[in-house]
Structure 1
């Protein structure tokens, strides 16, 4: 606790009441308070009570007899715990994560629950979705109007659990509106379990929170890399890898540099210049493999980044090798009279094999652009074989 205070960090601890709680039972309030009192004795003053991911219906007969709805039971229980916390210490605070913690804030649960909740309690909200593409002032105002509480935002970024396990969330925070701080109680960021890599996105979140009006996602992201990786060559290599890993709930371009290269290469072969397309693809692939060599080197200055991103680095290397073969195929293609590429059955089979191999690894890099481009390339060669 002393170290936290020294570094301007407030330690907050949240507890879930569990699956067997009886909301009407005073002893279950005291059971939570036993732990809260222990935490209070070591200096904790910020507490949380998390009702998320528990049954959405009343479990006990006593609760069923006392309450008309799960919302009524939850608000009764939270208010009872809060009354005990206030008696313990007037400096205590309590944040509640509701059973329904995302949506439009027009749903029955959150509106009834919020209005019944003591106004001194903070109410956690993740936005429209569990992992929200955007957080804006309009939705914050709707939340306040319908729940009588200003939202306390829990932003599920850069976390990459559950359905997002194959994504590496190392891009900057985006889609959070300017001035949101005027319509929210605060903002929490939920990191990945890759703690070193989480610092990249968390650094950009810090910039956003410091100045929401002046925040520039790309400038902040570049600065975070400079801040966290001193070696210029190492930083350049890992930057290229990370810029292929922007796919997330934020729905930004998943691989800006790679997408630009694919677009240029596709334009070249569609305008009768397959050799030029091949050069673009080969140059990008060669740089990717140089990046891999740098990152895998024993001298690489960010070994924790390498370890935490190894799954994505492995696929990045596989894509680099595959692209060299794609460059060879495109460069060997002719151009038909209708400006389509013309190639051999062996070329088509090789493209099909590359697609299957890359798609067999669920690790997400480059978004869907590469697979779509390879499909299009295969179609052009297939059409030429039928002509």
Structure 2
């Protein structure tokens, strides 16, 4: 354990000393890679059977090998890092060595010898034709395997620890000795000094056990920084002046000790901005006293985040008197406090790393009075954290990083808000780190990622962050993601397949805009080739994945974190497979089976949508899985069934606006006024919401219901309703201004397939659409009896939507009839009557009216009845009920 400055802090100090305004210089020439082996994603495959993570800078295969002997000797230098030795010895034992001993020299006799640092390692590296660690940047290392020997040499203690982690990956897991390891030479160093994680989200803080587990994960993946900054730790924000209770401080000390053991720099990030008085000597004293307490338990890196606060409202009158008002005054006030903290605490504690801070304007590179004040006044040793262009930056470029350095006038540590999900608690974000340009790390003092509320589930994305931050030149997002899945699955192929299917269904984010890319591709293939068996295999794997993960995944924290999403994934898999069988039945012309399957789908979808995540406030948040993919597939299957019946079915919504959280566009067509589509941005001129009626048909009344309780101003302030038959030529229906409820009656005879509401001016508020409907022309008039039960209606039996049903209030009396009259007589060859599963046969006689007279065509035969109408124009259909105890129910009567 280290009680002095760690290698991460030393690396940072060195970086700050040499980092020019245009970016950090690359590794020195003496430490460059062996010719022909840079970017080793392909080169290391010949040397190892599984990917190394992070991908090393240089991996060279040798023609020889080493064998793990029953007894293995470890020869270590006098000052070799103890945690590194522990990793080496455990890796050898896991590889099958029955006895691992330390000695001052090799014993001979054919035993495998492992040299870790010191003169022995240097000699062995030379003998194996590998260069040593001289000339490498901080935390670099050299490793060679061959000719019956293994040698590791680190540039520093952390470098040796990282060499040990790479050896751990090169060695197999075996119960007995005898494993043969291909000869390999590795030379490696990091792309940027600081690489790690900042626990900086809002919501339920991680547990103590989860943090310890995370620190183990960071060390194994060559991440050297963990910033403790959970927004909902009161002693960091609301109660920042108060000392920690003894038990909480003891837990922090355990974290600090574990971090040191794993070569991770524990950063304590105190956020006083909600109440601090920048000019107050008392508040400075409170800050330094808090930091002193943390110093005493081993913390050597400190940060002061000043994000998510107001800088126009002072917390004390003295600050207004001292600094004035406005952004420039806020920057000057913050610089004043931080400079004093740097002088009076950091500079007075030898071994402390440079102070870190998060500016209030942390999300762009636009010049401002605030940034100008920070650039001019803030001590040049202070490290500035920045999220990129945007709070959640979809992309981050070299040019943006250089501009951030120029605008802030300080070295930049990114606070990358991925895979954080505190703003979308309904989602897990399990896709890879993406959208970050190659070359970015060398422009930075470091890269930190803000993780999810779910710690273990964050590992998939954090694995890829570690890969990128260490060696961006060789980074491949999908390959890294695949390797992360393999590692978390413990090398078990079945578990890996299940985890991949599950993670694919939780893939989308601002960094990975396509949801469920592999599942989406499978559905698209099915649309082209119609191979239902192949798609069913994909959906079955998704449906079964949760059970596999619950049974086989070693990381139980991941299973616990993902519980509601695992349940929802299984349920959506069941719904989607049922929908696929519905499509198959429709294609085969099997009406009874199709109707039976169709009736199961609403309850399956309700179940899939029923699972919730409970946040720290007790709020039940519905979780989403593969939204826009699985739900759309199910909706399209139902629409295909409607089309096979000759019905238009429920319209399909669309928009060009982003979606806020899980308020999907489908919610404006679900028939429920309590749900809504909610945009994630303000509409501009031309922004739209749209209905696809799925077929050209006459237009009835149009209703656009916008705004909602709590957001009454989120509606289109100026817009126009339009319709189109081809989605290219649009015709105006009605203009509207300053109305949250819009209704329009199309002229008689108007028909179209598409209807949209389009903004005619830009606005500042977002858009809520509760319901967007077009009345269905052509619906039959329904009369007769028995009367409908409360909550039901006669018209539901002829409204063109099989999802609605007429339910009688009582049993039918003999001779009582339900009569359907279309808007005009129709040439029809058949009558189809849809009823709930279990509906009795023989419940009614079916008659049609042709030429003014009624004639019988048959009897209801069960849930699905199709009878020949005899051709000609049919002016009505009548169900003449027979006596019986059953209460009549009818979903739809269809003339076709």
Q: Establish whether TM, by shorter chain, passes 0.5.
A: yes
The structure whose residues are more often helix, as a share, is 1
Shift of 1:352: 5.7
SS, match of residue 11 in structure 1: strand
1:58 equivalenced with 2:58 (yes/no): no
Q: TM-score, normalised by structure 2?
A: 0.39
1:34 equivalenced with 2:34 (yes/no): no
- CA change 1:197–1:359 in 2 (3 A) is closer
Alignment of 1:200-215 (within 5 A): 200-215=460-475
1:5 equivalenced with 2:260 (yes/no): yes
Which residue of 130, 134, 140 corresponds with 2:391?
130
TM-superposition CA deviations, 1:226-280 (whole Å, max 9, x none): 2332233222222221121112221343212210111122234xxxx5xx34x34
Cα distance in 1, alignment partners of residues 271 and 608 from structure 2: 42
Which residue of 97, 102, 127 corresponds with 2:358?
97
1:139 equivalenced with 2:400 (yes/no): yes
Residue in 2 aligned with 1:372? 632
Cα distance in 2, alignment partners of residues 136 and 88 from structure 1: 37
Which residue of 533, 546, 554 corresponds with 1:292?
546
- CA change 1:73–1:352 in 2 (3 A) is same
Which residue of 485, 500, 503 corresponds with 1:239?
500
Alignment of 1:248-327 (within 5 A): 248-268=509-529, 273=530, 276-277=531-532, 279-297=533-551, 300-327=553-580
- Two-structure CA RMSD over aligned residues (Å): 2.7
Cα distance in 2, alignment partners of residues 356 and 229 from structure 1: 31
- CA change 1:113–1:87 in 2 (3 A) is closer
SS, match of residue 567 in structure 2: helix
Cα distance in 1, alignment partners of residues 447 and 471 from structure 2: 13
**Contact 2:362–2:385 (CA under 8 A) maintained in structure 1:** yes
Residue in 1 aligned with 2:380? 119
Shift of 1:300: 4.7
SS, match of residue 160 in structure 1: coil
Shift of 1:350: 5.5
TM-superposition CA deviations, 1:60-117 (whole Å, max 9, x none): 2111111122222212211222121244125432001112221234344334333331
Shift of 1:23: 0.9
- CA change 1:134–1:111 in 2 (3 A) is farther
Cα distance in 2, alignment partners of residues 123 and 170 from structure 1: 28
Cα distance in 2, alignment partners of residues 43 and 324 from structure 1: 55
- CA change 1:372–1:109 in 2 (3 A) is farther
Residue in 1 aligned with 2:586? 333
TM-superposition CA deviations, 1:299-327 (whole Å, max 9, x none): 55343322221111101110111122112
SS, match of residue 468 in structure 2: helix
The structure whose residues are more often strand, as a share, is 2
SS, match of residue 88 in structure 1: coil
- CA change 1:11–1:101 in 2 (3 A) is same
Shift of 1:344: 6.9
Bigger radius of gyration: 2
| Equivalent pairs, count | 374
After superposing the two structures, state which structure 1 stretch, 228-237 or 92-101, moved more.
228-237
Residue in 2 aligned with 1:25? 280
Q: TM-score, normalised by structure 1?
A: 0.87
**Contact 1:123–1:152 (CA under 8 A) maintained in structure 2:** yes
SS, match of residue 47 in structure 1: strand
Residue in 1 aligned with 2:409? 148
Residue in 1 aligned with 2:304? 49
**Contact 2:568–2:623 (CA under 8 A) maintained in structure 1:** yes
Shift of 1:123: 0.6
Cα distance in 1, alignment partners of residues 293 and 366 from structure 2: 35
Shift of 1:152: 1.0
